[in-house]
Amino acid sequence: MQTRVRSMRVGYLVNQYPKVSHSFIRREIVGIEACGIEVKRFSIRSCQGELVDPMDLAEFEKTTILFTMPPWRVLVMVLQTLLSAPLLSLRLIFFASRLGWCSNGGLLKHWAYFLEACVVRRWCSHHGIDHLHAHFGTNSASIALLCHRLGGPSYSFTVHGPEEFDRAPNLYLSEKILHASFVIAISSFGRSQLYRLCPHDQWSKIKVIRCGIDDLFLQQRPAPLTQSPRLVCVGRLCPEKGQLLLVEAMRELRDLGLECHLTFVGDGALRGEIEQLVADYQLGGMISITGWVGEEQVRAEILGSLALVLPSLAEGLPVVIMESLGLGRPVLSTYIAGIPELVEPGVNGWLIPAGTVGELTQALATLLKTDPCCLQNMGQAGQVAVAQKHNIYRETRALAALFRQSQMTDGQALAIDWMDWNGDRAPSLAHAHGPGLPQLPLFHLSGDPMLKTIRHPWKLLNNPTVAGESLDPGKLRPNFGAAVW
């Protein structure tokens, strides 16, 4: 009788989670769990005060947050790590110090990272974490690296940009890539930037797994366009998003006699400056700011507009662009980072050079004068594009495959459990087993109903044999989605 072992358990580590602007991480976690992998949420800091979406509030209850722990408990966990492995801990303190000397963060910050890594290491041990995944290549990836070097689980991390690329030398990304099982870029542009930061022999570790949207956006039926000239800009109010340029362009539109209303959906450090500029230009009747809102209201604001406008100066690949296209609304944005990989001028939106108020104004005027039928067609083209490239269910299946692949080591066995389906001999799942290795769906095969074992499963495609018998390669195919052995 085949022994069943527990499902794989992955820890997600983020500096601040859940967070209003990080809905893409929440969707990714839900998708990973749907693949049969258990996920434990770890966060360094809390953003509870800004949460408004019920789904974010529910995620908050599932998240273990370091900075909400009593100091004495943190101290106990650090001492447990130091006493259980004193020499290793000492080496890691020197390692963290070396990283601190090489970065703007300095020694104190990296000693703090070491202490945080001790806590995360204890979390991973307590929860039986098989693999740790960090979002962003900043402090969360630093802590994952130190946790791994402390004897913790294997790790990986997702790089979004632009901050990681702007600060690459101070974030020692090459060191993080070296020790990681794999690294995720959210676009081809992001992958190209990571190629610049690590040796060629590390390039194979870098995979593109795109951020995605779920059925709330993917299943949207074509909705009629608003009859009002309404535009929406969704995102954190910060210099990188270029919202001040958009206020300037709105003033020029007014001076040209073009009427429209712009809604900023979001909040952030730049809100006060935006509100002051709106007042100075007397644009109060043309521009409004909602502050932070839940996902349902974001969806409603996009559907109530003609198009999304995002004149970003620095980006990765904004998820709100995927959301807008998924809802059938075209996008006006800039030729930077990964945006041109999704927004196609004249097909599902408009692209302009970043930082150009004149071209932004001209593009907005063109948008407002475009025939509604044309806007509707552009929106439908956007739905097709985003469904092909940013389906969260497909992307998380590929990521789950990478998580599982990270646990495969030479000598572990692959047990093939043949089953009948509706009375017929049909393809069934092969499961990997080994010390501490979770049940992994790996291959579909066809043949006699019996249990056999294959070692070195990654070599099967070259010379597949089962218990000394030849196996037709045509009957063997990986069940790892987009993953590559």
Could you report the per-residue pLDDT of 223-238, keeping only the tens digit for each?
899 999 999 999 999 9
Give me the domain span that covers residue 474.
Answer: 410-478
* Best CA proximity match to 114, nearest among 131, 99, 135, 136: 99
371 and 246 share one domain: yes
Predicted pLDDT at 5: 57
Cα–Cα distance between 344 and 350 in angstroms, integer? Answer: 7
24 and 129 share one domain: yes
Answer yes or no: is pLDDT of 8 > 60. Answer: yes
In a domain, 360, yes or no: yes
Q: How confident is the model at residue 222 (pLDDT cuts 50, 70, 90)?
A: confident
Residues 105-120 have a mean pLDDT of 92
Answer yes or no: is pLDDT of 463 > 50. Answer: no
283 and 314 share one domain: yes
CATH classification of the domain holding 183? 3.40.50.2000
Question: Which range (24-28, 170-174, 176-180) has the least confidence?
Answer: 170-174
Question: Which range (210-214, 374-378, 385-389, 441-445) has the least confidence?
Answer: 441-445
Answer yes or no: is pLDDT of 177 > 90. Answer: yes
| pLDDT tens readout for residues 325-365 | 999 999 999 999 999 999 999 999 999 999 999 999 999 99
Cα–Cα distance between 447 and 130 in angstroms, integer? Answer: 32
In a domain, 485, yes or no: no
Question: Which range (85-89, 133-137, 167-171, 371-375) has the least confidence?
Answer: 167-171
Cα–Cα distance between 473 and 480 in angstroms, integer? Answer: 16
Residues 204-224 have a mean pLDDT of 92
* Residue 42: exposure state from Cβ atoms within 10 A (0-12, 13-18, ≥19): buried
Give the whole-number percent of the chain exceeding pLDDT 90: 74
pTM: 0.83
Predicted pLDDT at 1: 46
How many Cα atoms occupy the beta-carbon half-sphere of 182 within 13 Å?
23
Give the whole-number percent of the chain exceeding pLDDT 70: 83
| More confident: 305 or 423 | 305
Mean model confidence pLDDT for the chain: 85
Instruction: Read off φ and ψ for residue 438, nearest 5 degrees.
Output: -75, 165
DSSP secondary structure code for residue 391 in this structure: B
In a domain, 133, yes or no: yes
Residues 83-93 have a mean pLDDT of 93
Predicted pLDDT at 477: 36
Q: How confident is the model at residue 436 (pLDDT cuts 50, 70, 90)?
A: very low
122 and 96 share one domain: yes
Output helix, strand, coil percentages for the chain, rounded to the nearest 5.
Answer: 45, 20, 35
Cα–Cα distance between 161 and 371 in angstroms, integer? Answer: 35
Q: How confident is the model at residue 420 (pLDDT cuts 50, 70, 90)?
A: very low
80 and 191 share one domain: yes
In a domain, 400, yes or no: no
Of 173, 208, 243, the residue that ends a domain is 208
249 and 373 share one domain: yes
In a domain, 86, yes or no: yes
169 Cα distance to chain centroid: 22
| pLDDT tens readout for residues 48-68 | 888 988 999 999 999 999 999
In a domain, 245, yes or no: yes
User: Residues with Cβ < 8 Å from 170, sequence gap 6 or more?
Assistant: 102, 103, 104, 105
Q: How confident is the model at residue 465 (pLDDT cuts 50, 70, 90)?
A: very low
Predicted pLDDT at 409: 59
161 and 298 share one domain: no
52 and 157 share one domain: yes
Predicted pLDDT at 4: 53
Question: Which DSSP helix (H) or strand (E) runs through 421?
Answer: strand 420-421
Of 346, 362, 390, the residue that ends a domain is 390
Q: How confident is the model at residue 105 (pLDDT cuts 50, 70, 90)?
A: confident
In a domain, 4, yes or no: no
282 and 423 share one domain: no
Beta strand ranges found along 174-311 (DSSP E) = 182-185, 206-208, 230-234, 261-265, 287-289, 307-309
Question: Which range (212-216, 218-222, 305-309) has the least confidence?
Answer: 218-222
In a domain, 123, yes or no: yes
141 and 279 share one domain: no
Task: Decide: helix, strand or coil at residue 269.
Answer: coil
Predicted pLDDT at 368: 97
Predicted pLDDT at 60: 96
Residues 196-222 have a mean pLDDT of 93
103 and 249 share one domain: no
Q: What is the count of structural domains for the chain? A: 3
253 and 300 share one domain: yes
Residues 297-318 have a mean pLDDT of 96
User: Residues with Cβ < 8 Å from 306, sequence gap 6 or more?
Assistant: 225, 226, 229, 230, 231, 329, 367, 368, 375
Predicted pLDDT at 440: 39
Q: Is the peptide bond before 18 cis (omega within 30 degrees of 0)?
A: yes
Of 208, 233, 252, the residue that ends a domain is 208
